[in-house]
Each structure stands twice: as C-alpha cells, then as structure tokens.
Amino acid sequence: MSNVNLAMVLFLAGLKNVSSELVEAAVVDGANAFQRFFYVILPALKPAMVIAITVNIIDSLRAFDIVFVMTRGGPYYSSSVMANYMYVQAFHNYRMGYGASVAVVQFLITFSFILLYLINVLKKEER
C-alpha cells in the first residue's frame, strides 16, 4: 500500500469518527463551511493526521532501494536520501566509520518517530 493510499484510508476512517452532532451544532450556531472545517472537522482528524504524518516520515527515512535503483542519488545528489548518503560514504568513498555514524543517526531519528507513534497509539488505547 502506498503512502497516499494509506493516508487516504486513515483520513476516511478519521472522517467516520467526526461526530455529526458537532457538525450540526456548528451549523445551528451559524458557522460557515470554513469555520466548520477548521474548528470542528480538522481537530477531529488530528489523530489520523498524526499517524499519517508519522508513518510517512518513517517510510521516507527508510527509502533507499528506489532511489538507489532509479537514480543512484541523482545528478549532484539531488535525489539522495540519508540511507543513500550512508551507502555512498561507506562503500564508494571507503569511509566506513562515517557511514556507520550516519546509519546510527538515521536509526535514532527513525526510532524517535516510532516512539512518538507508539505513544500516540497507546494513548488512544487507554481511553
């Protein structure tokens, strides 16, 4: 499942959780369409947005294979990602220690986003 498909499924599930009573109350209170969206619907979609953004960031941090196969980092590293940079430094420039340190930094960044995701999921399960 691609990132766009996953985000769409998450947002559709989030829209199912928007209370129709809140939207109707906003209409009765005189809120226009923009106010209903920004003050009622968008706050209700916050959990879905957090999950979609976190999963997309984690997926983009592990994107090595597509970049390497398609462009090998592109002209002048224009399409290079962190994993591709680590590979080039370690195996093309023979800087194994530097490549390993880049891999550790990438792991720490990815792990922090995974922790944020798990904390968010566990908060929802406690409710």
Output phi, psi for 18, to 5 deg.
-70, 125
Output phi, psi for 11, to 5 deg.
-70, -35
pLDDT at position 101 over 90: yes
pTM over cut 0.75: no
- Give the tens place of pLDDT for each residue, 60-82: 777 777 888 888 877 887 777 88
SS3 (DSSP) at 78 = coil
pLDDT band at 50 (very low <50, low <70, confident <90, very high): confident
pLDDT at 127: 65
pLDDT at 4: 82
pLDDT at 94: 92
Specify whether the CB–CB gap between 113 and 60 falls below 8 A: no
